[in-house]
């Protein structure tokens, strides 16, 4: 039977269980991703869209009598 590994390091059952217990103590309850999600990281701000250029005013209609 192959031994469990973590990032190339072999783990015995006792060490693997100790690591899982440590994660529970640190508040990890659901391992979903390979990389931790930083919920406090703010997304990069995007520059506001430039204001649309003002349209040239139209000439008033010419009235003929």
Contacts of 11 (CB under 8 A, 6+ apart): 3, 4, 5, 19
Q: What percent of the chain has pLDDT over 90?
A: 2
pLDDT at 12: 86
Structural domain count, the chain: 1
Q: Cα(5)–Cα(9) distance, rounded to whole angstroms?
A: 5
pLDDT at 24: 87
Average pLDDT over residues 48-53: 82
Q: Is the pTM of this model over 0.75?
A: no
Q: Tell the residue number behind the tokens 């059952």, with chain if given.
A: 13
56 in a structural domain: no
43 in a structural domain: no
pLDDT tens profile 21-33? 988 898 876 767 7
Domain hosting residue 16, numbered range: 1-27
3 in a structural domain: yes
54 in a structural domain: no
Scored b (16 or more CB within 10 A) or e, 42-65 reads: eeeeeeeeeeeeeeeeeeeeeeee
1 in a structural domain: yes
Torsion of CA 15, 16, 22, 26, to 10 degrees: 150
pLDDT at 5: 78
20 in a structural domain: yes
């Amino acid at each position: 039977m192959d031994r469990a590994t973590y990032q190339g390091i072999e783990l015995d059952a006792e060490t693997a269980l100790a690591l899982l217990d440590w994660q529970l103590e640190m508040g990890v309850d659901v391992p979903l991703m390979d990389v931790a999600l930083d919920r406090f990281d703010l997304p990069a701000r995007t520059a506001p869209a430039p204001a649309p250029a003002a349209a040239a005013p139209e000439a008033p209609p010419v009235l003929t009598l």
